[in-house]
C-alpha cells in the first residue's frame, strides 16, 4: 500500500527525471550526432575507400608486372639484334 508521501516522492522523482532529460537534451542529441558521424566515417572508409584502394593496388601490381615483362622482352630482343653501323661496342 502506498502512502501519500511515497506517491509524492514518486511524482517528485518523475519530475526530476524529466527535468534532467530536458536539460540534457542538447547534450544527448550532440552525443548521438557524433556517434552517427563516427559510424558514417568508419563506414565510408571501410566500404567505399578500402575497396577502391585494394583495386588500385591490384592494378598497380599488374602494371608493374607488365612493365617488368616488357623490359625483359626488350632485353631479349636487343640481345638477338645484330648491331650494324650505329652500335658502339
At 14, the pLDDT band (50, 70, 90 cuts) reads: confident
Distance, CA of 37 to CA of 31 (rounded, Å): 10
pLDDT in tens, 38-88: 999 999 999 999 999 999 999 999 988 988 888 887 777 766 665 555 655
Report the predicted TM-score, pTM, of the whole model to 2 decimal places: 0.54
Q: Is the pLDDT of residue 1 over 50?
A: no
Distance, CA of 71 to CA of 77 (rounded, Å): 10
Q: Are 89 and 83 in contact (CB under 8 A)?
A: yes
Amino acid at each position: 500500500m502506498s502512502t501519500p508521501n511515497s506517491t509524492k516522492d514518486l511524482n517528485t522523482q518523475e519530475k526530476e527525471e524529466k527535468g534532467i532529460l530536458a536539460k540534457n537534451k542538447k547534450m544527448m542529441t550532440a552525443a548521438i550526432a557524433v556517434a552517427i558521424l563516427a559510424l558514417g566515417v568508419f563506414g565510408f572508409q571501410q566500404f567505399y575507400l578500402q575497396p577502391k584502394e585494394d583495386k588500385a593496388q591490384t592494378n598497380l601490381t599488374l602494371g608493374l608486372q607488365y612493365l617488368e615483362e616488357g623490359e625483359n622482352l626488350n632485353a631479349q630482343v636487343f640481345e638477338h639484334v645484330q648491331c650494324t653501323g650505329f652500335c658502339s661496342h
